[in-house]
Every structure is written in structure tokens, then in C-alpha cells.
Amino acid sequence: MIILDLEKFTRKMDSTIRRYRAIYGLLEFLAITFILFLVAVFFNLYEIFKLIPWTEPYVGLSPDIPLLTISYEMIFLFVIVFVLALFVSAVVGRYRSEIYGLLKRTPPKRQNSQDLVEETYPELKDRLKTAYDNRNSDNFIAAELRSSVSRDVDGVASTDLIDKKRIIYSLGVIVVAGFFLAAVFFTGFTAPFSPTDPWDRFPNGSLQQPPITDDNSSSNNSTGIPQPPPPISNSPGVDIDVTLPPGTGHGPGDMLENGSDSNFTPSRPLPPESLSSQHFYDTLPAGYEDIIKEYFRRLAANS
């Protein structure tokens, strides 16, 4: 009966320790996921889906989910973060000792159930394992040890075996990361750059010319005096120079300095007949010449 009690107790503790370790792993995975998702959202990594052909049609759209509004790019980003968190968790679990060594900290021990019970309950130190190892022995000392240990393990509570410090650390990271993630979503405060910035700068594989400002000067200006840039008309794929020659739009009076008078004398008005071309009259049908002359006479008289 005592032998069966010790074996049953050991199997129960083994199952409890495995369940607790699964909880530790789940909490650590959630903490890693929250941290990675917070970093991805803060640095606008979801905008990378604008550059992927098979995700670009879904950018800016949301699935029809009741009581939930979330864009497709956020869903895609969370899936990638989830897979990456699985990978990081596996690496951390595989190289836990090395990682703790780099941080100059002692890694948590991976103990079996009997070692953990003996560490938690000092009165069972070395007695539980000894009694279990000698559970089939018939000598009097082994029988007394098994009987004594069997009475003591009745007071062992499985909740005392939980690594409370490990759970508190994981929950703390989840709460802090979740708080900042909610702040980013509600306030829209993110980094001032995104992964699409290089593509905006090099849309066709070449450097875009930055806009010319009034402070820029011509490289050919030997005097060092800033010159205004020539007006350029931007058409798709074409730059058209629409620079007007000097003096365009100014009459002789406008070109006088300070409105001062000059020796310029305007020409006198001439009758319409003297401005007509002989070729014009040669090509007119017969009878139209007098009509046209009369029209221009009346036009000149009315003006």
C-alpha cells in the first residue's frame, strides 16, 4: 500500500510539473509575441505589404467581422509575428543556458518532480528519493523510511511547486507591452519613417530629384549670387522648359527706366488701304473688294 502511494504521488507530481512547464512556455511565448508585435507596429512594418503584389490589393481593406475592425495588413503582420515568435521561443528554449550566461544570470534548473518537492519541502530532503528508490526493499529500515515519507507527502500541495517569479516576470512583460501597444493604436504615435521610404525615394530604381527651392543656386553661376531656377513644366515622363525670353510681355513704355521719357516717337495711324496686301486683293472674287473696304472704313470710324 505504501509502495503504491509513493508511485502514485510521483506520477501525480510529474503530471503537475509538466502542466506548469506548459504554462511557463505559453506565457513566455505570449510575452515574445507582444514585444515583437509592438516593435512591428511602432516602426510601421505593416506598410511593407503595399510592396508585395499578392497583398497590395488588400491594403486599406478590412474583413467583415462583427464588433471588430482590423485591416488586412494588420492580420498579415500578426501572422508573420506569430511565426517569428514561435521561432524565437524555440531558439530561447534550445539555448537558454547560453542566453542566461550572456546575461550573467543563473538559468532556472530543470528538475524532476522529486527534486522539486525535496527543494520545496526541506523535511523531505533526500528522504523522498531514497524511499522511492528502495520501494521494493524488504529490510526494516527501508520499510520505516517509506512509512514515514508516505505520511509526510500527504501535506504536499501542488500549488507550492509553481515558479511564481517566472510567472510574474512573464505576466509583467505582457501587461507592459500590451499597454504600449494599446497606446500606439489609440494615439497613432509611431516612428516617423516606414519601410516603404526607400521605394518612395527610388520609385523606378533611380534617385528622385528633390524639389528645387528658392535657396538653390545654379552650379554654373560664377558670381555666387543665387539665381531663380528656370520654370519647368512637369508632365508624366517629360520635363518641358517653358522659359520665356527676356522682355516678353513688355512694351517699349514698360522697358523705360523709372518711367523716364525718351526719343521714342510712335508711328502715325495709316489708312487701311496702305496696310493691305496686294496678294489679298488678287485672290478676292470680283465685287468683294468694295465691300471689304467699306467694312474696314466703318470699323475705323467706330473705333
Mean pLDDT value of segment 273-299: 67
pLDDT of residue 97: 82
137 vs 176, more confident: 176
| Average pLDDT for the chain | 78
52 vs 138, more confident: 52
- Residues 45-48: contacts with CB under 8 Å, at least 24 apart: 45/77, 45/194, 45/195, 46/71, 46/73, 46/74, 46/76, 46/77, 47/73, 47/194, 47/195, 47/196, 48/195, 48/196
pLDDT of residue 272: 56
Residues 153 and 13: beta-carbon distance below 8 Å: no
pLDDT over threshold 50, residue 221: no
pLDDT of residue 194: 81
pLDDT of residue 182: 94
Q: How confident is the model at residue 181 (pLDDT cuts 50, 70, 90)?
A: very high
Q: How confident is the model at residue 196 (pLDDT cuts 50, 70, 90)?
A: confident
Query: Three-class SS of residue 241?
Result: strand
pLDDT tens per residue, range 60-104:
888 888 888 889 999 999 999 999 999 999 998 888 888 878 877
pLDDT tens per residue, range 118-166:
989 988 888 888 888 888 888 888 888 888 888 888 888 888 989 899 8
User: Is the whole model's pTM more than 0.85, yes or no?
Assistant: no
Q: How confident is the model at residue 179 (pLDDT cuts 50, 70, 90)?
A: very high
User: What are the grid coordinates assigned to 217, written together?
Assistant: 543656386
pLDDT of residue 207: 46
pLDDT of residue 224: 47
pLDDT tens per residue, range 243-282:
655 555 555 555 445 555 556 566 666 555 555 555 555 5
pLDDT of residue 73: 92
Q: What is the number of alpha carbons within 13 Å of residue 294 lying toward its C-beta? A: 5
Mean pLDDT value of segment 229-247: 55
Q: How many percent of the chain have pLDDT more than 70?
A: 69
Find the range with the poorest average confidence among 210-224, 234-248, 261-275: 210-224
pLDDT tens per residue, range 22-38:
999 999 999 999 999 99
- The helix (H) or strand (E) run that includes residue 277 is none
pLDDT of residue 65: 83
pLDDT over threshold 50, residue 219: no
Q: Please calculate the CA angle 130-136-140 and round it to the nearest 5 degrees.
A: 75
CA 95 to chain CA mean position, Å: 29
- The helix (H) or strand (E) run that includes residue 233 is strand 232-235
Q: How confident is the model at residue 212 (pLDDT cuts 50, 70, 90)?
A: low
Mean pLDDT value of segment 203-221: 50
